[in-house]
DNA sequence: TTGTAGGCGTTATCAC
DNA sequence: GTGATAACGCCTACAA
């Protein structure tokens, strides 16, 4: 009775030779049989940090190579309760194309794999959370906003979570981000001290946390410097949205002399609208600044004055933080805030 | 003896109440016990297409909700040998930012999840293949080039593979792509019939299959129309590379009157170099065309004449093709080639 | 160091 | 329709 399983395995492989030929997967039992050792020896051999004698190791490895054996991660996950899988959630608006690539590299270095979720519709977030839970991911990195309930679900289930570029004041929501308010403050300061006085602000969607933080930073600094309240319009973070917003801001009598955009893409739209439709010179007639460090903003025609987010640092910090929580789940919630880097382009009149 | 497992389960949950409280995962046994039914009943209840009586279903679902039970996908994978995981491989050069998002949506519709691999270094491809095999993915979509050996490994292991935008003539390499030669042909035809005669071509890296196909299409069409051999330079698909290439092409005596670029990003670089550094008017002094349908190419300042790849169609076709192969592994190798769409912008002088 | 035996949580296969 | 029991492929005490 106790030998049933072993017998089955032996039968299967001895009755028809090469297991691959009959479409069965090569298991550690096949390797063990060929090498003439026990299955557990094979297992140890493929588990880093377990002691196996040199003789046995070579014998097993030879057999494994011959059969093309690779351990089945699924069976391993089931017993170790470690999937080495990290769920990465991004919203479709997500700007930075390097993001996935950088993240992927850091994961590779740590032997982690990346289960990818894109959020297009609102319902997608719930589905993503359900799926990543079913796959028993070791942790989650989110570049998308999640509801308090969704964060709560992850917390209850003990899945470590790190937000990237979404600073939340919610229990259990670790995050790494960029100091949006500080960055906007720098831009405003520069613009004011260069003599700008009529500000127009192109914010993002009202619901966007990032947009709100940037807007707040700009407004606070303007107030602190004693400037008149700026004209604020909300847009949608897109190029077309930027152009439209610019049209709106410059339609009135008192055209702004400085446009502060909540991201680079909209700033680019503003510049194009100014030059191509409004016949305004940038930065002579109007200064335009953005935020992000979007590559096209640095193309010859734009040379956007902006604040570059330290994406590489942020991503590395997020992975570090997540891994720390996976290894030590009781770690306290933490935020890491990086300063951006002021990029003085030529889209704004600054000293 | 035969009751050992059941006994263990019952002991664990009855001795300490709520299983979540002690960090154990909620299993189908917990639900079964609470609902007063067998574990198999719970399993059937969560398996679409299995018959369960209405009474039992409600009883089980109530218990499941109460405990927050979700089936463990890992255990399911182990027995069903279906992971519902699709590996997606992209190279870091990968241009189209929507790609991941579109792909993700199609996968969601089919209940598939996305295991994501980015290739930065050459060794990454082998690692990716090793990993995706260990996770027993159901299939692979690759937007990166793989070696014949790597394709062979997947074939041997019976993992369906579909290339996207990489047409290979290798056994077992299904693919969906865009007709690069046809598209370049359209561009060349338009340019020639508008009177252009001195062509400069900015190709991609020599190793790039896509670049080679586009270059071949352009050269063939030029030859067919009896044009003089164009000046060809190779670059790296980047903005900076495009600017540099433009400088090179226009440095000689006989400046080209039409620049054909292997992608939009380089074309944008060429336009900027022409306008900002060489003081040339586009398209009056020189026409520039690209290939891809990269969004910034349509910004006001560029309005690139180009061929837009039907990304959405291609991605959908790739997923369809892959799923078909997963369900019917013996299907013959297939290529699907989509025509691009000519975008007549204003970066080229065309009737 | 090596082998034995018992799970991990699910689906599949039978009897009933 | 329902319930017992055997896989799935591996890791891990524990005994040798």
pLDDT(B64) > 80: yes
In angstroms, the first-to-last Cα distance of chain A is: 87
Provide the positions of strand C that have an atom within 7 A of a protein CB: 1-13
More confident residue, A17 or A119: A119
Does residue A175 contact residue A116 with C-beta atoms inside 8 Å? Answer: no
Task: Say whether B135 and A276 touch across the interface (CB within 8 A).
Answer: no
- Compare all CA atoms of chain B with the CA of A88 and give the residue at the minimum distance: B116
Domain B83-178+311-340 CATH (choose: 3.40.50.970, 3.40.50.9100, 3.40.50.2300, 3.40.50.620): 3.40.50.2300
Protein side of the strand D interface (CB < 7 A): A 4-5, 8-9, 24-25, 27-29, 39-40, 43-44, 46-47, 69, 71-72, 75-76, 78-80; B 2-3, 37-41, 44, 51-53, 55-56, 75, 78-79, 81
Confidence of residue A77 (pLDDT cuts 50, 70, 90): very high
From the CA of A221, how many Å to the nearest CA of chain B?
Answer: 32
Does residue B171 contact residue B192 with C-beta atoms inside 8 Å? Answer: no
Does residue B139 contact residue B325 with C-beta atoms inside 8 Å? Answer: yes
pLDDT digit string (tens) for A269-282?
A: 999 999 999 999 99
Rounded Cα gap, residues B44 and B47, in angstroms: 5
pLDDT(A11) > 80: no
Nearest Cα to Cα of residue B150 among B172, B167, B165: B172
* B65 CB-near residues (< 8 Å, 6+ apart): none
Nucleotide nearest to A2 (CA to C1'): C5
**Chain B residues touching A277 at Cβ < 8 A:** 300
Rounded Cα gap, residues A48 and A72, in angstroms: 15
Provide the positions of strand D that have an atom within 7 A of a protein CB: 1-13
Nucleotide nearest to B32 (CA to C1'): D3
What number is the average pLDDT over the span A7-18?
A: 39
Three-class DSSP category at B327: helix
pLDDT(B23) > 60: no
Tell me what pLDDT residue B49 has.
85
Which residues of B in 23-82 have their CB below 7 Å from strand C's atoms? 24-25, 27-29, 39-40, 43, 46-47, 69, 71-72, 75-76, 78-80
Task: Say whether A101 and B118 touch across the interface (CB within 8 A).
Answer: yes
pLDDT digit string (tens) for B296-339?
A: 999 999 999 999 999 999 999 999 999 999 999 889 999 999 99
User: Residue B78: which of A74, A116, A268 has the nearest Cβ?
Assistant: A74
Confidence of residue A23 (pLDDT cuts 50, 70, 90): low
pLDDT(B20) > 70: no
Nearest Cα to Cα of residue A331 among A110, A178, A174: A174
In angstroms, the Cα distances linking A99 to A6, A106, A176, A254, B137 are 48, 11, 14, 40, 24
Q: How far is the CA of A133 from the C1' of C15 (A)?
A: 35
Residues of chain B with CATH 1.10.260.40: 1-81
User: Residue B114: which of A92, A115, A157 has the nearest Cβ?
Assistant: A115
pLDDT digit string (tens) for A291-318?
A: 999 999 999 999 999 999 999 999 999 9
Residues of chain A with CATH 3.40.50.2300: 83-178+311-340, 180-308
**DSSP code at position A339:** -
Does residue B217 contact residue B184 with C-beta atoms inside 8 Å? Answer: yes
Two tokens at A296? 């096209």
- Please state, for a pLDDT cut of 70, what percent of chain A lies above it: 92
Residue from B77, B111, B265 to probe the interface with A (highest A Cβ count within 10 Å): B77
Confidence of residue B72 (pLDDT cuts 50, 70, 90): very high
**Chain A residues touching B26 at Cβ < 8 A:** none
Which class is B1-81 in CATH?
Answer: mainly alpha
Task: Say whether A117 and B130 touch across the interface (CB within 8 A).
Answer: no
Domain B180-308 CATH (choose: 3.30.70.100, 3.40.50.2300, 3.40.190.10, 3.30.70.270): 3.40.50.2300
Q: How far is the CA of B7 from the C1' of C11 (A)?
A: 20
Work out if B7's Cβ lies within 7 angstroms of strand C: no
From the CA of B186, how many Å to the nearest CA of chain A?
Answer: 28
pLDDT digit string (tens) for A200-247?
A: 999 999 988 899 999 999 999 999 999 999 999 999 999 999 999 999
- Number of Cβ atoms within 10 Å of the Cβ of B1: 5
Does residue B112 contact residue B138 with C-beta atoms inside 8 Å? Answer: yes
Report residue B304: phi and psi, to 5°.
-65, 135
């Amino acid at each position: 009775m106790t030998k049933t399983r072993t017998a089955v395995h032996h039968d299967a492989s001895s009755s028809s030779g090469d297991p691959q030929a009959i479409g069965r997967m090569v298991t550690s039992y096949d390797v063990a049989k060929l090498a003439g050792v026990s299955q557990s020896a094979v297992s140890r051999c493929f588990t880093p940090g377990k002691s196996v004698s040199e003789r046995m190791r070579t014998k097993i490895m030879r057999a494994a190579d011959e059969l093309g054996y690779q351990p089945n991660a699924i069976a391993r996950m089931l017993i170790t309760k470690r999937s080495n899988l990290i769920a990465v959630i991004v919203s479709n608006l997500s700007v930075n194309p390097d993001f996935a690539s950088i993240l992927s590299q850091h994961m590779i270095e740590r032997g982690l794999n990346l289960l990818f979720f894109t959020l297009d519709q609102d319902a997608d977030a719930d589905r993503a959370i359900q799926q990543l839970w079913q796959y028993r991911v070791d942790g989650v990195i989110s570049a998308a906003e999640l509801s308090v309930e969704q964060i709560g679900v992850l917390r209850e289930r003990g899945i470590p979570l790190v937000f990237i570029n979404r600073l939340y004041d919610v229990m259990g929501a670790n995050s790494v981000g960029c100091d949006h308010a500080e960055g906007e403050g720098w831009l405003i300061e520069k613009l004011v001290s260069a003599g700008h006085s009529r500000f127009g602000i192109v914010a993002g969607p009202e619901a966007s946390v990032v947009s709100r933080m940037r807007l707040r930073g700009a407004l606070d600094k303007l107030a602190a410097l004693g400037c008149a309240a700026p004209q604020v319009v909300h847009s949608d973070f897109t190029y077309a949205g930027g152009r439209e917003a610019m049209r709106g801001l410059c339609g009135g009598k008192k055209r702004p002399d400085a446009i502060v955009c909540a991201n680079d893409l909209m700033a680019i739209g503003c510049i194009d609208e100014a030059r191509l439709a409004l016949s305004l010179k940038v930065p002579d007639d109007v200064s335009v600044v953005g935020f992000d460090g979007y590559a096209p903003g640095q193309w010859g025609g734009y040379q956007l004055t902006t604040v570059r987010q330290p994406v590489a640092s942020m991503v590395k910090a997020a992975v570090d933080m997540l891994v720390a929580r996976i290894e030590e789940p009781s770690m306290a919630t933490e935020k890491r805030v990086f300063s951006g880097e002021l990029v003085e382009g030529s889209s704004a009149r600054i000293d």
